[in-house]
Chain A
Amino acid sequence: KQEVTQIPAALSVPEGENLVLNCSFTDSAIYNLQWFRQDPGKGLTSLLLIQSSQREQTSGRLNASLDKSSGRSTLYIAASQPGDSATYLCAVVQGGSEKLVFGKGTKLTVNP
């Protein structure tokens, strides 16, 4: 059974810092991995999608990497801003399935 773990559970940083969020998964037979952002009481917004054959994806100040063999992904946020404050969720899609298996998320607070 696939399990996704995110560390840390919460993170508080001053504005301008670069930061890394970690995600690990137990079964490397994934189809893809996605990072989502969730604002309080809201739905999920897809940030980055990495196919199993890819190593990384970039969008603006965000960079996500994938090491499928070791079951790890990182989300790097450069020059953090207060508007980045949210919960970041990592999810994997298992090969042969379209369901997303989520971690519990990392709650990020960027202080002005």
Chain B
Amino acid sequence: ETGVTQSPTHLIKTRGQQVTLRCSSQSGHNTVSWYQQALGQGPQFIFQYYREEENGRGNFPPRFSGLQFPNYSSELNVNALELDDSALYLCASSSGNTIYFGEGSWLTVV
């Protein structure tokens, strides 16, 4: 039990649609990061938020955006979905050196 919960666990979207993935982390974990993991690959860093401000971004286009809220929840939004966006999306919260991952949201784009 990591204390990081993600929803939904699985979803299917059509190319061109928009999706919002949600994450709830532990109280006091001011840093949240999102990763994309394609099948057979390691997770790739999308972006990180610290106290509701974006604090670093990986090599992902602007149609990937996020929000972090004061209640330690966060969202990942993806617009204009493409087939290659099909992946497991992982949320991670951290306090100091300790990082906790959620179980992920499986997104399939058809």
Contact = CB atoms under 8 A, between A and B. Distances in A.
Nearest to A102: B42
Given A46-B99, A99-B56, A100-B99, A89 B42 contact: yes
A51 B33 CA distance: 20
Interface stretch (A14-22, A36-44, A58-66, A74-82): A36-44
A46 B98 contact: yes
Interface string A93-107: 000011111111100
Interface residues of B, number: 28
SS of B interface (majority)? strand
A36 B88 CA distance: 16
Q: What's the dominant secondary structure at chain A's contact region?
A: strand
Contacts, number: 59
B43 A100 contact: yes
Given A4-B42, A44-B90, A44-B101, 14 more contacts: A36-B101, A43-B4, A43-B101, A43-B104, A44-B43, A44-B92, A98-B56, A99-B48, A99-B56, A100-B33, A100-B43, A100-B99, A101-B45, A103-B42
